Amino acid sequence: MVQCPNCGGRSIGKIGCNQYYCWECCVEFSRSRNGEWHVYTVLDDGSLSRVITGSCDQAPGSATTAQHLAIP
Ligand SMILES: [Zn+2]
């Protein structure tokens, strides 16, 4: 059973190969080959914005937390 890595919800829809959508918090997520979850929010213009989840040791100000990607 897939669980949302963002909110832990279980209302998950599959939208593609290894890609899922959470109906509870409205994010898309996919699992990379190393088992890490990548979470994206869908912006108004239809593009995806990467959401950084969990603890990460980014230096403050060194990285943007959102990375815009085009939907394939
Ligand atoms: Zn969720």
Domain residues of the chain, as ranges?
Answer: 12-69
- 17 or 65, higher pLDDT: 17
Q: How far is the CA of 28 from the centre of ligand 1 (A)?
A: 8
Q: How far is the CA of 55 from the centre of ligand 1 (A)?
A: 17
Backbone angles phi, psi at 17, to 5 degrees: -65, 110
Q: What is the pLDDT of residue 64?
A: 46
Q: What is the pLDDT of residue 70?
A: 60
28: helix, strand or coil: strand
Mean pLDDT value across residues 9-30? 93
What strands, in cross-sheet order, belong to the sheet with 68-69? 12-16, 19-22, 27-31, 37-42, 48-51, 68-69
Q: How far is the CA of 29 from the centre of ligand 1 (A)?
A: 9
Band (pLDDT 50/70/90 cuts) for residue 48 is confident
- 55 or 28, higher pLDDT: 28
Mean pLDDT value across residues 35-40? 90
